[in-house]
Amino acid sequence: MIARTFVILMNTLEHFAQQQPKHYQTGIANRRIGARLQTWRLLMNDFIKAVAMKPWDVYVNGKWVNTVYYDLECNAEYVKESLINHDGYPVNIEVLQP
């Protein structure tokens, strides 16, 4: 929901910049709008990456113990190794997508 709000906001800002009179779009004003839009674009990309995460269920001996969230690009093996090496989970955990 929040990510969609940011996308709508960015599209609105881009639409606003395109609707300005031609004399406003040239020179310093255009560079300022372009710089602001680029800043928004970068912030939104970082925000969407932070929000867009994949849940993983963690099981020990067939019993659910936790749900963890990782980046969309992470696979089950990476999540398992990370939980064991970084978070101290036992080596016999099973990591599955819900």
pLDDT score recorded for residue 64? 93
Domain ranges of the chain: 2-51, 53-96
pTM for the model stands at 0.50
Q: Which residues of the chain have pLDDT under 50?
A: 1, 24-25
Please report the DSSP string for 23-78 in residue order: HHHSHHHHHHHHHHHHHHHHHHHHHHHHH-EEEEEEEETTEEEEEEEEETT--HHH
Q: Look over the chain and give the mean of its residue pLDDT values, rounded to a whole number.
A: 75
pLDDT tens per residue across span 26-47: 555 556 666 666 776 777 666 6
Per-residue pLDDT at 92: 95
User: CB-based burial of residue 83 (10 Å sphere; 0-12 exposed, 13-18 middle, 19+ buried)?
Assistant: buried
